[in-house]
A and B are shown apart, each in its own frame.
Chain A
Amino acid sequence: MDQIPAIAGVFAYLSLLTIGGGMAAFPEMKVLVIETHRWLTYPQLIHIYSVGQMSPGPNMMMVATIGERVAGIPGALVAAFAFFVPTGILTLAVGGLWKRLEQWPWRASIQKGLAPVAIGLAVAGLITFGRTAVTGWVTVAVALIVFAGAMRTRLNPALLILGGALVGAVALR
């Protein structure tokens, strides 16, 4: 229970970094959750993050899983609230303003300028993630096959991830 304020602080801060998506915040999440607060081990974080990718709705609701692990249901609720509500209010405020800035020349500049930065941050997060998630030939093969499957087929990505679980069950024990 004494971790509740820390949960609120960590996830509210992380949410501000999720430009373009949750992966951008992953390197910072790793530092705060693993090293600073020692709420999880690194493999646990990787597992929970990955399971979150299968969830319907926002794929970063895995913050509730971390909150639950640390402080039960109150922890889950605080983590989700901290992660989604402050940025939600920001989006609501900017959403109203944005329409009125239609003729502001910098509007396009901000969107064009942040697009590559968002991609770079996501790829950087993915590299941090992949260094631990992809080790040894089985996991390399799974990652490559899922990559190809997502690029070339219209299979539901959740099925590809479940396929990874099956391969893991057989080949990674």
Chain B
Amino acid sequence: MSEISILAIFGVFLQIGATSFGGGVVAYLRSALVTKKKWLTDTEFLELMSLSNTLPGLNATNMAILAGQRLRGTPGAVAAMIGMCLPALILMTAAGFAYGAEGSRPLVTAMLRGVAAAATGLIAATWYQIGKKTVKGFYEAFFILAAILGINYFKLSVPIVLLSVGAVSIFAFRPRKPGDHRKEEHAWIRSLQ
């Protein structure tokens, strides 16, 4: 593969950053990077996706960084990250102005209440779909529930739940038998799609 230019990377991510309305950035990324540009194979993409989910940070930006890094090292990652963030930064800063000017217009407040209810339904659908693929046995269901109860019932803070439930969960999924970990990991990543 001939080297991909930094400008080309910036261009692709800027386009995704400007057009991926409505959340599903991952689908836009997959279509651009795997299907159209063929910069990554599907397996590479899924591997980066799995790592992106494991790290703090959003999928949109983590994937921009990981894919940019895979393509052209650190400069590629920086170009992808800036491209991905720039349109939203401008838009959402402008939204701050607009929101300030809105004051107490009842129509805008009513619309925003509708938007909030719709966002709740949308986010619920996203996580329901992810959850359905992830839960393969008792442990997954148990740790999902443990995190929910930790926050909503026991009122623990997010970092405490993340560190405690996270540590126990990683231990529960500890490596057990010798063998080809790489192959096993692959099979697991594929099963999430």
Contact = CB atoms under 8 A, between A and B. Distances in A.
B36 interface: no
Interface in B44-58: 48, 50-58
Looking at chain A's contact residues, the main secondary structure is: helix
A6 interface: no
Looking at chain B's contact residues, the main secondary structure is: helix
Interface string B110-133: 111111111111111111111100
Contact of A57 (B88, B185, B188): B88
A34 to B, nearest CB: 15
Interface in A103-162: 103-130, 132-134, 138-140, 142-147, 149-151, 156-161
Nearest to A105: B175
Given A57-B25, A142-B118, A157-B122, A121 B147 contact: yes
B126 A130 contact: no
Given A47-B116, A108-B185, A117-B169, A143 B61 contact: no
* Most B-side CB within 10 Å, residue of A65, A130, A149: A65
Interface of A: 15-25, 27-28, 31, 44, 46-69, 73, 76-77, 80, 84, 87-88, 90-92, 94-96, 98, 102-130, 132-134, 138-140, 142-147, 149-151, 156-161, 163-169, 171-173
